[in-house]
Every structure is written in C-alpha cells, then in structure tokens.
A and B are shown apart, each in its own frame.
Chain A
Amino acid sequence: MRRGVYAKRIVYSSMVSDFFFPQPGGVESHIYQLSTKLIDRGHKVIIITHAYKGRTGVRYLTNGLKVYHVPFLVIYRETTMPTVFSFFPIFRNIVIREQIQIVHGHQSLSSFCHEAILHARTMGLRTVFTDHSLFGFADAGSILTNKLLKFTLSDVDHVICVSHTCKENTVLRASLDPLMVSVIPNAVVAENFRPLHATPHANDRQSGGTSQLQHTPRPIGPNDIITIVVISRLFYNKGTDLLIASIPRILASHPNVRFIIAGSGPKAIDLEQMLERNVLQDKVEMLGAIRHEEVRDVMVRGHIYLHPSLTEAFGTVIVEAASCGLYVVCTRVGGIPEVLPQHMTTFAKPEEDDIVLATSKAISALRSNKVRTERFHDQVKVMYSWTDVARRTERVYQGISGDISPQEFYGYYPGEIQEAGSDRIRNFSLIDRLKRYYGCGVWAGKLFCLCVVIDFLLYIFLEMLFPRANIDIARSWPKKLNEASSTKTERDRLGSTS
C-alpha cells in the first residue's frame, strides 16, 4: 500500500469558478474544502476566481492554497461577463506560471469556468467540470445555458456531479456519455456542526436562544417552544415564496412554534412585508446575512430545519442541519432525496399546502419524541467526509491523465464495442476537437467551431506575443515533510547521537 502512495503522481490542478470566498455558499465551500483536502493528499491546487469587492490579486489561504482574484467585470449575481476570449491571456499566464496540468471548473452558471475549460483544452490540458446545480429544459434562459454547457462539455475530459439526479440532468443537458460523468457528493466538516449538547465547552454566543435548551438532551414537552430554522439565500430558486406563503399558516396552527430565518437576498423585502402584514415579528426572527462559521450557532438554536428550495442539486445545508441534530423538512426536488436517510427527514412536494402539512408532521413527530435527533451527528459524520471526496476526485484526475487504465477507470462492459470507448480519452488535435464541437447543432456547431478556431489562433498569437520562456514559474508552497521522510530523518538523528 505504501508503494501505491509513492507511485502516485502529484497533480497540479487549478479550480476555476466565479464563485469563491468571501461570498458564502455551497459551491464556494465545496471548492475550498476539496482543494484543502487535495493539498493534504500531496497535490498542488490553486483557485482562480474573479475579484470581489476589496479582494483583488493573489492571496494565500490556510495550508498554502493560492487564490487568484482576477479583476473582471461582474454582471449578475457575482457572475462575470461572458466574453469568450478575454480571459485567455491572463488564464494562460497563470496556468503556465503555476505549471497546471488539470483545470477543474465548477458550476455551470460561471462563465469563468466555461472559458477556462475551452482555453485549457486549446492549451492541451486535461479538464474536469463539476456541476453543482440543476437546470430545466423549457425556458429560454435554460435553453441558452444548456447550449453553452453543451459547448463546453463537448470537449471536456470528465464531469463530476454532486448527486445522481444532477448526473442525469447534466447528461441530458449536454448529451454526454454517462460513463464520463462521475457522482461525487458534497460533504460537511462534521466537527464544525456539532449539536449543542455535544459541546459543553463551545462558546455560546446566543445566550437568549440557548436558555430554552438544556445542555443534556431533554424530551420536548407538548407545550415547549419548537424553533424552526431556515438558512438560505433569499432568492426565488431557494423557495422563499413558498416560505413566505407557509409561515403564517404554520404559525396559525401551531402557537408554540418560532422561526429563525438567516440569509439575505432580493426576496428579503417580501418576507419582511409578510411579517408586517401578519404581525409576526415576535414569532419570526430575521437575522439577515450570516457568515458560514455562524451557521452552526444559529442551527443549534432550533429543532427543525426547513428547506423549501425549488431546485437543488445536492443541498449541503440539510446535511449540516442534520449534523447539528436538527430534524429536516425539505422539498422532494432534485438530489435532495439522495442526501439523507429516511429517518432524518420529512419530505414535501414543492407547494404551499404540502410544506405546511410536512412541517406539522415534523412538529408532531418531535413532540411525540419519535425522532432521535441526538444520534444524527454521529450518523452524518460516518456518511460524509471531505477526505473521501478528495480521494474520489483524485481518482478522476488519475483516470483522465492516464495513470489508471481506461478499462479500470470507466469499467469494463462485455457487450461494448471497443471503438465506442476510444472517444472517452479526448485527444488534443484541433481537427478532433472541431469534430466534437461540430456535432453540437446545425448552427451552434458551426459557431462553436468558429470560436474554437479563433481561440486556437489567439493561443498561437499569445505564444508569440508573450513567449512561454518569459513567464516566471511561481514557487510552490513549501510542503511539510511527509511521514516517511520525517521518520527517516528522525532515525538518522537518533543514529548520529547514539
């Protein structure tokens, strides 16, 4: 096994996405956690994102994770302007100076990610794409996004989806070979999401909230206050409208229920209007935007986590809630049913009546003490870990860079014709790439080919204008001595002293 570890090639990979810290969110923390764990496994990872307010340039995070905040025009919800080629010069510079071998893009709405994958293929690098969200097929926006996704993914080496529903969605949207798509779920750092009674020495900042709860789990009496927590960005797709419609009805039928809502967004104003109209200010507490590290402190104040999202590929937040020992009420949409086992959740259809019904069911289940929420944390801890996610991602990296034989990586199917699998290993010759893009559609195919040809010419032009030799290679973050070599030096030291 040792030898296996040593034979492992170090991968220099770069995560590219529009979405990264300081903005909070699931994709952002996914990228951060995955990168950190990959670095722990001995790889070199950098992150390329656009500049946020007050955060431009090159930054280092914990463990030597380097982040490039590229100054770029942001148009909508922290998404950059989709200008097919303008990112290329700076991207090429970063890739060369960091000696990147694999470019890993995240999130289909990120134009940075799509551009990076296109340019990386032009530069002859392996690419991976991780899809974190689901899209429809019907409305104009989705059709456009799907076409764009098809463009990028027709030449990508591998795709990772966070849930099987997401995989199905992505395969259909981008007409991919399903074997090229892996499912690697998100995870949570379970230590950061402990239930309240498990951490007697944790600093309890919310004294008002904790006074209702004892430090030892106590059965909830029939007249005790049950607190429902909602933590989400207040956007349409997060189901804020459902929340607005169901809160008055839930509170009307259950007098001993309180709500805590954390998060901000364009729907916050509607929510506040609803509270004022129904005079519910004393029962619903609005916390506004909170930092990710405060999420646990808010969650442990409640008993039920309500997640009314309309579309969700994975829903990390419900895993976090379950890890905090909350009973989860969520809509049966997207990948959510795959995430948690039955006994931790109550599902609802994404409609007002059903959410009210499911919440009522959850409240009565808690009141009758049918749910053992104190066991949730340990169960979640076993199910989800970032180390596991990193190990599986590493296997994808090895598979596409040829360290694992294709047969082992993609699996062996006896009935399969040998030729069918040969296209999975995407070679870099321009004519083969053009063939792949040409199949995208009658007009789109030609347009995509044009883009690829221009991209290729731009690459040649950049090679002449900014020669590779003139680009300084950046130093890697100094690595800690790995276990074996440190013990060796230890032995040497002991040998010399004796």
Chain B
Amino acid sequence: MPVHLISRRPSPTTASFTVSNASRHTSTTAKLFFYFQFLLRLIVFSGIIFLDTAHFRHIFSPRNESFIPWAAIWSSPLGSFICRIADTTNSIVTALASALVIYGVFLKGYTEESLLVIRGLGIQTSTSSPTYLSKAATRFIPTTEIQDIVIHEAFKGFEVRFYLAVVVVGEPEVVVVFPKLLPNRATLEEVWRGSRHCLYDSKP
C-alpha cells in the first residue's frame, strides 16, 4: 500500500508529520469497504466469544435466575449447532484458535508513524502498535539533546533505503524516525526541511 504523508502546522512553532500506509477512505467504495470490514470484525469477534462460552457452558452452571436465558440459547438451532462444534473440538485447539482469531480481529492492518516537532521543547517520534489493544511506542527527545537531524542511507534486506534519523547527544546509536515504513526520499526531505525549519527557524 502506498505510504502517504500528512503534515500539519497548528502553530508556527509546532509541526506534526504523519506517514501512514492506511487507506484514506476517500471514495465511496473505500468507505463502504471500511464499514463492511468493521461489521465483519464485530461478527467474527462475537462469534468466537459465543463459541468459547458454548465450550465452557458446563463449568459455569446455567442458572435460570441469570438475566440471560442460557438454556433457551443453547436449545435454539444456532445454539445447538455451536454446541455441537464446541463439544467435538479439543479445548486446547479451541483456546488457541480463539486467541488467534481475537488477535486477528484487533489487528490494525496498517502502520502509522509520526514525528511531532515543538520548538523549544523537543521532538516526539511515534510508531503505531500493530493491534488496537496496545498503545503506540513513542520516544520524546528534548531540544537540548538533539544534536542534528539527518537523512542517510542504510542497507535493509536486499535494498538500500533512505532514513531520517535524529542524532541524540550521548547516545551511540541514532533514533530512526519512521523506522517501519521508511518512506521515500522526497517525503523524507519534506519532513526534514519542515522539522528543521520548525526547530531552528532556518530557511526551508
């Protein structure tokens, strides 16, 4: 999926650059696809929860006084079908399969990485987590610790890729901005110019 850059400048001393390979949902079909995907995830998630409940229905004893009519559910055509599947499969297999499916349901399917530059304060890099459940990994570098921001090249797999890096005072290794997406040179140059302009008020 193509990587695109969104740069925002809410104030003259702040700039935020976000690169993402997520679809932008501009066309109607893309929007429809997005809602359809959401619905599908919801159905799959509730389905797997239902299956798990069916599997362990003997453990928490179905009492009629609970507000969910369990007995009625299990005796319904869908309920009995799920119960049959749950009873035939091994509990370890069910646990593993449901863990995988739940992970899949919460998987984002895209990566979003951003660089936030605030003059006089510092810069913050962030990389989105692979799932909706965990937070993004962020790193804040105060202005006093920024030695330089550079674009350089490095070997990655069978390629030589450009990367934007922050040289931090007293650290042997540089901090790579956008480490997962590694956008192309044109994008990096735009971010580099913008962030230097914002940090040092130099002519872009």
Q: Could you list which residues of chain A lie within 8 angstroms of chain B, going by C-beta atoms?
A: 56-58, 68, 70-71, 89-90, 93-94, 97, 466, 471-475
Among B77-85, B101-109, B147-155, the stretch in contact with A: B147-155
Known: A472-B184, A472-B185, A475-B185. A70 touches B159 (CB 8 A): no
With both chains docked as a complex, state the minimum distance between the C-beta of B151 and any C-beta of chain A, in angstroms: 9
5 A-B pairs (CB sep. < 8 Å): A56-B155, A58-B154, A89-B158, A466-B158, A475-B185
Which 6 A-B residue pairings sit nearest by Cβ, starting from the closest? A89-B158, A58-B153, A472-B185, A93-B159, A472-B184, A57-B154
How many Å lie between the Cα of A124 and that of B155 in the bound state? 24
With both chains docked as a complex, state the minimum distance between the C-beta of B35 and any C-beta of chain A, in angstroms: 31
Residue with the greatest number of chain B CB neighbours at <10 A, chosen from A56, A58, A71, A89: A58
Q: Decide: B160 and A58 in contact? CB cutoff 8 A.
A: yes
Known: A472-B184, A472-B185, A475-B185. A466 touches B155 (CB 8 A): no
Known: A58-B160, A94-B160. A71 touches B185 (CB 8 A): no
Tell me the residues in window 159-173 of chain B with beta carbons closer than 8 Å to chain A beta carbons.
159-162
Query: What total count of A-B pairs have CB within 8 Å?
Result: 34
Residues of chain A lying within 8 A (CB to CB) of residue B161: 472
Task: Return the contact of B153 from the options A71, A90, A474 (Cβ within 8 A).
Answer: A474
Q: Decide: B155 and A472 in contact? CB cutoff 8 A.
A: no
Q: Decide: B160 and A93 in contact? CB cutoff 8 A.
A: yes
How many Å lie between the Cα of A13 and that of B204 in the bound state? 32
9 additional contacts (CB under 8 A) given A90-B158, A466-B158? A56-B155, A57-B153, A58-B160, A71-B155, A89-B158, A90-B155, A90-B160, A472-B184, A474-B153
Q: Which residue of A lies closest to B187 (CB)?
A: A472
How many Å lie between the Cα of A97 and that of B162 in the bound state? 11
Tell me the residues in window 136-160 of chain B with beta carbons closer than 8 Å to chain A beta carbons.
152-155, 158-160
Residue with the greatest number of chain B CB neighbours at <10 A, chosen from A56, A71, A90: A90
How many Å lie between the Cα of A58 and that of B161 in the bound state? 10
Q: Could you list which residues of chain B lie within 8 angstroms of chain A, going by C-beta atoms?
A: 152-155, 158-162, 184-185
Q: Decide: B158 and A58 in contact? CB cutoff 8 A.
A: no
How many Å lie between the Cα of A474 and that of B189 in the bound state? 12
Residues of chain A lying within 8 A (CB to CB) of residue B153: 57-58, 474
Residues of chain B lying within 8 A (CB to CB) of residue A471: 159
How many Å lie between the Cα of A97 and that of B154 in the bound state? 13
With both chains docked as a complex, state the minimum distance between the C-beta of B191 and any C-beta of chain A, in angstroms: 14
How many Å lie between the Cα of A466 and that of B162 in the bound state? 16
Residues of chain A lying within 8 A (CB to CB) of residue B154: 57-58
Q: Decide: A68 and B159 in contact? CB cutoff 8 A.
A: no
Residues of chain A lying within 8 A (CB to CB) of residue B162: 472
Q: Which residue of B lies closest to A475 (CB)?
A: B185
Q: Decide: B152 and A58 in contact? CB cutoff 8 A.
A: yes
How many Å lie between the Cα of A97 and that of B185 in the bound state? 11
With both chains docked as a complex, state the minimum distance between the C-beta of A212 and any C-beta of chain B, in angstroms: 46
Q: Which residue of B lies closest to A471 (CB)?
A: B159
How many Å lie between the Cα of A205 and that of B125 in the bound state? 49
Residues of chain A lying within 8 A (CB to CB) of residue B155: 56-58, 70-71, 90
How many Å lie between the Cα of A89 and that of B155 in the bound state? 12
Residues of chain B lying within 8 A (CB to CB) of residue A97: 160
Residues of chain B lying within 8 A (CB to CB) of residue A70: 155
With both chains docked as a complex, state the minimum distance between the C-beta of B100 and any C-beta of chain A, in angstroms: 29
How many Å lie between the Cα of A370 and that of B37 in the bound state? 94
With both chains docked as a complex, state the minimum distance between the C-beta of A52 and any C-beta of chain B, in angstroms: 14
Q: Which residue of B lies closest to A70 (CB)?
A: B155
Q: Which residue of A lies closest to B184 (CB)?
A: A472
With both chains docked as a complex, state the minimum distance between the C-beta of A465 and any C-beta of chain B, in angstroms: 9
Q: Which residue of A lies closest to B189 (CB)?
A: A475
Q: Which residue of B lies closest to A68 (CB)?
A: B160
How many Å lie between the Cα of A57 and that of B155 in the bound state? 6
Q: Which residue of B lies closest to A93 (CB)?
A: B159
How many Å lie between the Cα of A103 and that of B22 in the bound state? 40
Q: Decide: A466 and B185 in contact? CB cutoff 8 A.
A: no
Residues of chain B lying within 8 A (CB to CB) of residue A89: 158-159
Residues of chain B lying within 8 A (CB to CB) of residue A90: 155, 158-160
Q: Which residue of A lies closest to B188 (CB)?
A: A472
Q: Which residue of A lies closest to B161 (CB)?
A: A472
With both chains docked as a complex, state the minimum distance between the C-beta of B173 and any C-beta of chain A, in angstroms: 12
With both chains docked as a complex, state the minimum distance between the C-beta of B165 and any C-beta of chain A, in angstroms: 12
How many Å lie between the Cα of A474 and that of B153 in the bound state? 9
Q: Which residue of A lies closest to B159 (CB)?
A: A93
Residues of chain B lying within 8 A (CB to CB) of residue A474: 153, 185
How many Å lie between the Cα of A70 and that of B160 in the bound state? 10
